[in-house]
A and B are shown apart, each in its own frame.
Chain A
Amino acid sequence: MLPALVVFGVFVVAPMIDGAWISLFAWDGVTVGHWVGLSNYREALVDPLVREAFGHSLVLVGFYAVLPITIGLFLTALMTHARVRGGAAVRTIIFLPQVLAAVVVGVAWKWLYDPSGPINSLLGAVGLSSLEHTWLGDFSTALPAVGVIGTWVTTGLCLVLFVAGVQRIPLSRYEAARVDGAGPVREFFAVTLPGLRNELAVAMSLSVITALRAFDIIFVTTKGGPGNATTVPSLLIYQRAFITGEVGSAAAIGAMMGAIILLLSVVITRVVEERR
């Protein structure tokens, strides 16, 4: 097992430490950097662009995590109540976006959202041409448009997780609930939802992490634009480290992002374990 630890140590742990070290310098990546202590972090915290980027991440969490989980729960509840067996084909199809390269997803949706693309022509065809938009080029629609891509990607994961979880809930609990005269809504809140606690935690951590990263899709569809309308922290890291030569600042944002993600996964796991 030593070789595994060495490879992991050199290519994961060392860069983490190295990144934290770089983040303490003002460095352009070429000349010698100089020590600035924590000021990269201080600046990042008050930098309006960084704040905006994290704000966008928060919006994306809504689209990547909250919405897919809601849809997933809703479909699961329907299937459980109507005793529809999860049609393997449906499961395979809804999960498919999850295995695609994010770059492929971005390319596909860029065309869907194109001013002369399928979405606009569909709207035109059903007489809603007034709703046609330059979806990714308009300040007000770009971020939600990118978010919808995330919803499309993660919904399958949530649904598959929940359907598998429901199958582990003992049937007797549903029967008991029905004997008590519970309708579909009460059945969902009394039996299904509590039974899916683990799966909910997993769905939440995975989708929130996906939302916070979200680099590939945004790079391919909008590059953060129009203006900064879809700029997210991962994009800032890329721009600052490799284009504008603010390596220290990029490393600081990277460290903050890593810390937030680690913290979130620990918190989500803890909350679940405590209530178990």
Chain B
Amino acid sequence: MNTGSFERTATHVMLALFAVLALAPLVVVVLAAMHPSGTLLSGAGLPDSFSLATFRTAWDEGGFSRLMTSSAIVAVTVVALTTVLSIPAGYAFGTMRFPFADLLFYVILTGIVVPFESLIVPLYYSFRDVGLTDSYWGLILPQTGLSISFGVFWMRAFFRSLPPELSDAARVDGATSWRILWRVLVPIGRPAIVTMVLLVFMWTWNEFLLALVMISDQTHRTAPLGLSAFQSRYGVDVPGVSAAAVFVAAPVVILYVLTQRQFLRGMLAGSIKG
């Protein structure tokens, strides 16, 4: 059966329509941010003159230098810890036999679906008792814990996909498991590791509830928390709030646009588990 050009056109139109629907809210926000700060906007009009002044004002008023720095510190540390901890664990789960391996792996998998909403109450009160609230560690440690679930799951799948001959050859040369892992397998696994790094960075950067609960002082606030605070304080300043939203979104969006292949692959393969 031949599919007519009418159908093809109709499909293109539909796809274009949905692409526009997906993009429109973002375009509207960027447009709003280009109006002078404090303008009472109505509708999604174009600004009279193209100006980036509002970005500067919002950056200073919202203290985004500090917010972005805090977020970067937290996200980079979580990514580094998750990578260093997940690679050996994934290697062990993927290539070695040890007692209770399956059971342990299933326990770790629960971390992929368990939400912070369920952990936040005990986490907060334990961290308060040991003085970890209002500190970067209060954000880093729980997020590393949850990211390890995905990391171990992801790296295990990678190590399983490798032909065993790879490590066997190195083993004949007298290399230890540890050496094989870091010298032989990790270099091969760069693409898988990059994907993991990207996803963990995104999840950490975007996390809100944990920061909302753990952080009450100004110095340790993360960017999403700062945005929420900025919005409740300057809510009527739509251009300003929109500019602030652009800051918070920018790092992940830039990473996504640059590396969409890895991003999509990770989100797809990472979610098809079981």
Contacts and interface: CB of A to CB of B under 8 A. Distances in A.
Interface of A: 1, 3-5, 7-8, 10-16, 18-19, 21-22, 29, 71, 75, 78-79, 81-84, 87, 89-104, 107-112, 114, 116-118, 120-122, 125, 152, 155-157, 159-161, 164, 178, 181, 198-199, 202, 205-206, 209, 212-213, 215-216, 219-220, 233-234, 237-238, 241-242, 247, 250-251, 254-255, 257-258, 261-262, 265, 269, 272-273
Interface in B30-77: 32, 40-44
Contacts of B256: 96, 99
B262 interface: no
Given A8-B111, A82-B11, A257-B117, 13 more contacts: A10-B145, A79-B15, A99-B202, A100-B253, A103-B225, A104-B227, A110-B231, A209-B113, A215-B209, A216-B209, A219-B228, A234-B115, A273-B274
A183 B82 CA distance: 50
A217 B238 CA distance: 18
B33 to A, nearest CB: 10
A162 B85 CA distance: 33
B19 interface: yes
Interface of B is mostly: helix
Interface of B: 1, 3, 7-8, 10-12, 14-16, 18-19, 21-23, 25-26, 28-29, 32, 40-44, 81, 85-86, 88-89, 91-93, 104, 107-108, 110-111, 113-115, 117-126, 141-142, 144-146, 148-149, 151-152, 202, 205-206, 208-209, 212-213, 223-225, 227-228, 231, 238, 241-242, 244-245, 248-249, 252-253, 256-257, 260, 263-264, 267-268, 271-274
Given A7-B144, A13-B107, A247 B21 contact: no
A161 B268 contact: yes
Nearest to B6: A82
Contacts of A90: 15-16, 18-19
16 contacts: A7-B145, A18-B122, A71-B18, A78-B11, A81-B7, A92-B257, A101-B223, A101-B249, A103-B224, A111-B29, A111-B32, A111-B241, A198-B272, A215-B117, A238-B120, A247-B125
Nearest to B268: A164
A11 B141 contact: yes
B228 A250 contact: no
6 pairs of A and B residues whose beta carbons are closest in the complex: A121-B43, A11-B145, A258-B118, A1-B89, A4-B89, A118-B44
Contacts of A255: 118
Nearest to B141: A11
Interface of A is mostly: helix
Most chain A CB neighbours (cut-off 10 Å) among B117, B144, B151, B242: B117
Given A101-B208, A238-B213, A251-B121, A93 B22 contact: yes
